[in-house]
């Protein structure tokens, strides 16, 4: 999971200098990134798999807020 989060952090670009705003933008970015993937998948089992991954990653991001804020640019 850390590899996925690191890839998301590397692809994320924020327009804010405020770390709190960047954190909230990052959460939105992660959510929308997975929603786009889920939208184009036809298989119900794969959709459920990506929804579960999305949920787990968002929980991890919220649980490790300080570490994520340090890593977001």
Answer whether 0.85 is exceeded by the pTM: yes
Domain coordinates in residue numbering, the chain: 2-10+21-71
The closest alpha carbon to 14, from 5, 23, 6, 1, belongs to: 23
Q: Which two structure tokens, joined as six digits, stand for 43?
A: 């298989």
pLDDT tens digits, one per residue of 17-28: 888 899 999 999
pLDDT tens digits, one per residue of 6-48: 999 999 998 888 888 999 999 999 999 999 999 999 999 999 9
DSSP letters, 11-70, are H---S-S-HHHHHHHHHHHHHHHHHHHHHT---HHHHHHHHHHHHHHHHHHHHTHHHHHH
């Amino acid at each position: 999971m850390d590899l996925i989060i690191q890839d998301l952090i590397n692809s994320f670009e924020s327009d804010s200098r405020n770390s709190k705003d960047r954190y909230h933008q990052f959460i939105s970015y992660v959510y929308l990134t997975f929603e786009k993937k889920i939208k184009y998948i036809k298989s119900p089992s794969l959709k459920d798999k990506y929804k579960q991954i999305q949920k787990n990653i968002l929980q991890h991001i919220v649980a490790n807020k300080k570490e994520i804020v340090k890593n977001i640019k």
